[in-house]
Chain A
Amino acid sequence: MSRSWGTSALLWQLCLIGMLLAAWQVSATLWPAPYLPKLQTVLASFLNFFHGNLLFSAVLPSLYRFAIGFGVAVLLGSFIGLTLGYLRGLNEWVRPILEYLRFLPTVAILPAALLLFGATDGMRIFVIAFGSIFPVILAAMDGARRVDQVLIDVARVNGLTIPQRIFRVILPAVLPAIFAGIRIALSIALVMMVISELIAANDGLGHFILRSQRLFQTANVYAGVLLLGAIGFVLTACMLAIEGRFLAWYKGWRGAADAI
């Protein structure tokens, strides 16, 4: 792709974005409607998130619950998945129940979680973790099962103990699969974070958006969605960066395999 195409593409992109924003602003001015706030009010609401009350009553509680729930899902899920995958014989026993739980639409367990834990942070963390752990488990399990026997043989011939084999052979070999699972888990965890706050919370971004909607504070609704999008964007970008760092070898390897 030539440089001139690159700059002109950027121009086109800016053009389109500008046109959409302008259209929004013009219609908001000409035909004021409750669901069409002016852009400057949305922007003002958006900036409100970063200082004062909202930071502590909306942004941080959400992020805190997300971090714990997602962290548990990633760590515990990888561990369980690796163990189950390493014990190859277990696959047929545990796969159906795991897939059942994986495809159980996680919202459905919300009422049960509410019943068992009450409307607490523990409940919301549980729902986030429950929703996102199964993709990680299944991915790690499949990855561990597919580790090439030859690589394990090399490790055995070189006298590696079982823990050494796990850390030096199985873990690196499974990492691409685990990351694929984590990518799915990330978006599920975000969705579950919001749902748990929409349905039963008195703080967090989901709660903030829903309350604003009920009070017809539409600028706040849009600002909240914007912030959630930004959070999703940043988290995805971070994860891709981590992945790129750990899996540089994998890209090249896959590329070479595809070229054949």
Chain B
Amino acid sequence: MRSDRAFRSSSEGVAVPSILAVESISKNYGSAPVLDGLKFEQRPGEFLSIVGPSGCGKSTLLRCIASLMQPNSGSVRHKGNTFAEPPSWLSIVFQDYSRALFPWLTVRQNVAFGLHHIGSRERDERVQAAVQAVNLTHAIDLYPWQLSGGMQQRCSLARSIVVRPELLLLDEPFASVDAQTRIDLQDLVIDLSRRMNLSTLLVTHDVEEAVYMSDRIVVLSTRPARVVEEITVDLPYPRDQLATKETPDFLRLRHQVYTLIRAQAKSNNN
């Protein structure tokens, strides 16, 4: 494991270099503003969630962070440095999982997609390990269309972690799977990101999911997106779908975030 990521988010007071600093970025599509001076930071190893109303610009934000598109102003920094092309320390699970897998590749080949520069021996081992980590070993030689939605999403996840990123971006990864699958995937992602000491940036519009999974939550406004509030979630680990969600702290945080979101929706209707 990398030594520079030994510290956890709770090491307050010490000047920790942020793994990701989003510095007042703005983005327009044509003349329509989508992001409006967004600003926040993510500490190494932190699980950060972004919640915001549907269509407010969350995917656009992730594409700017991943350098898939350039913001009109502002910058994105990694440990103080800017970058122009999608960097190798970053990986992303796209919103629309059924379209993001290569239909002509099996699970094994899909997962191996980003390992083109690595020898075949090590590649096989790493693919096996990643597929195992998301419990897809039994389906490793199937094509995407032979998988259920949840399995497709786990395949995307494996493809993203197999490259051993420092920062994992997840764009509403559990949006269109059934409730039970969703719960399983949430626990899987918490577990993976803690085991691999990943910094994870999760975009979601599900308040409960954000509170349950995160160390911190950034709440966005309606389009054009601005940061409305940042909320620290200090729920203890390991988290448990029943026990954690029944604690007063969880309920209080959920209430707080939900109120903010609802206020956004109201201000939008006026």
Residues of A within 8 A of B (CB): 148, 150-151, 153-154, 156-160, 164, 168-169, 172-173, 175, 249-250, 252-253, 255-257
Say yes or no: B94 contacts A154, CB within 8 Å.
yes
Q: Which of B33-41, B73-81, B138-146 touches A?
A: B138-146
Contact of B144 among A156, A157, A158, A253 (CB under 8 A): A253
Say yes or no: A153 contacts B68, CB within 8 Å.
yes
Of chain A, the residue at the smallest CB distance from B169 is A157
CB distance from A80 to the nearest CB of B (A): 23
Instruction: Map CB proximity to A onto B33-60 as digits: 1 under 8 Å, 0 otherwise.
Output: 0000000000000000000000000000
Say yes or no: B113 contacts A154, CB within 8 Å.
yes
CB distance from B105 to the nearest CB of A (A): 8
Q: Which residues from B are CB-within-8-Å of A175?
A: 104
CB distance from B202 to the nearest CB of A (A): 17
Q: Which residues from B are CB-within-8-Å of A257?
A: 145
> B263 at the A/B interface (Cβ < 8 Å)?
no
Say yes or no: B102 contacts A157, CB within 8 Å.
no
Say yes or no: B68 contacts A157, CB within 8 Å.
yes
Q: Can you sample 28 A-B contacts with CB below 8 Å? A: A150-B94, A151-B99, A153-B92, A154-B113, A156-B68, A157-B66, A157-B68, A157-B90, A157-B114, A158-B114, A158-B116, A159-B88, A159-B114, A160-B116, A164-B116, A168-B113, A169-B102, A172-B104, A173-B102, A173-B104, A175-B104, A249-B104, A249-B105, A252-B143, A252-B146, A253-B143, A253-B144, A255-B145
CB distance from A244 to the nearest CB of B (A): 14
Residue among B85, B94, B102, B116 with max Cβ neighbours from chain A (10 Å): B102
Q: Which residues from B are CB-within-8-Å of A250?
A: 103-104
What bracket does the count of chain B residues touching chain A fall in? 20 to 34
CB distance from B21 to the nearest CB of A (A): 20
Q: Provided the pairs A148-B99, A151-B99, A158-B114 are in contact, do residues A253 and B145 lie with their beta carbons within 8 angstroms?
A: yes
Say yes or no: A159 contacts B86, CB within 8 Å.
yes
Q: Which residues from A are CB-within-8-Å of B145?
A: 249, 252-253, 255-257
Contact of A151 among B66, B85, B100, B116 (CB under 8 A): B100
> B163 at the A/B interface (Cβ < 8 Å)?
yes
> B91 at the A/B interface (Cβ < 8 Å)?
yes
Sorted nearest first, the 8 A-B pairs with minimum C-beta distance are A158-B114, A256-B145, A249-B104, A253-B103, A157-B86, A253-B145, A172-B104, A150-B100
Other than the known A153-B63, A154-B102, A253-B103, what 6 A-B pairs have Cβ atoms closer than 8 Å?
A151-B99, A154-B159, A156-B68, A159-B114, A250-B103, A252-B146
Docked pose: A34 CA to B143 CA in angstroms: 59
Q: Which residues from A are CB-within-8-Å of B143?
A: 249, 252-253
Q: Provided the pairs A252-B145, A253-B143 are in contact, do residues A157 and B91 lie with their beta carbons within 8 angstroms?
A: yes
Q: Which residues from A are CB-within-8-Å of B230?
A: none
Docked pose: A191 CA to B117 CA in angstroms: 47
Of chain A, the residue at the smallest CB distance from B91 is A157
Docked pose: A158 CA to B110 CA in angstroms: 12
Contact of B96 among A150, A156, A159, A160 (CB under 8 A): A150
Q: Which residues from A are CB-within-8-Å of B99?
A: 148, 150-151
CB distance from B126 to the nearest CB of A (A): 14
Say yes or no: A157 contacts B146, CB within 8 Å.
no
Docked pose: A160 CA to B8 CA in angstroms: 32
Docked pose: A153 CA to B93 CA in angstroms: 11
Say yes or no: A153 contacts B94, CB within 8 Å.
yes
Residue among B86, B90, B104 with max Cβ neighbours from chain A (10 Å): B104
Docked pose: A153 CA to B95 CA in angstroms: 12
Of chain A, the residue at the smallest CB distance from B88 is A159
Q: Which residues from A are CB-within-8-Å of B113?
A: 154, 158, 168
Q: Which residues from B are CB-within-8-Å of A156?
A: 68, 85-86
Q: Which residues from A are CB-within-8-Å of B63?
A: 153
Docked pose: A159 CA to B90 CA in angstroms: 10
Q: Which residues from A are CB-within-8-Å of B146?
A: 252, 256
Docked pose: A54 CA to B144 CA in angstroms: 52
Docked pose: A179 CA to B237 CA in angstroms: 54
Q: Which residues from A are CB-within-8-Å of B114?
A: 157-159
Q: Which residues from A are CB-within-8-Å of B66?
A: 157
Q: Which residues from B are CB-within-8-Å of A160?
A: 116
Docked pose: A160 CA to B163 CA in angstroms: 13
CB distance from B63 to the nearest CB of A (A): 8
Of chain A, the residue at the smallest CB distance from B97 is A150
Q: Which residues from B are CB-within-8-Å of A164?
A: 116
Docked pose: A160 CA to B117 CA in angstroms: 10
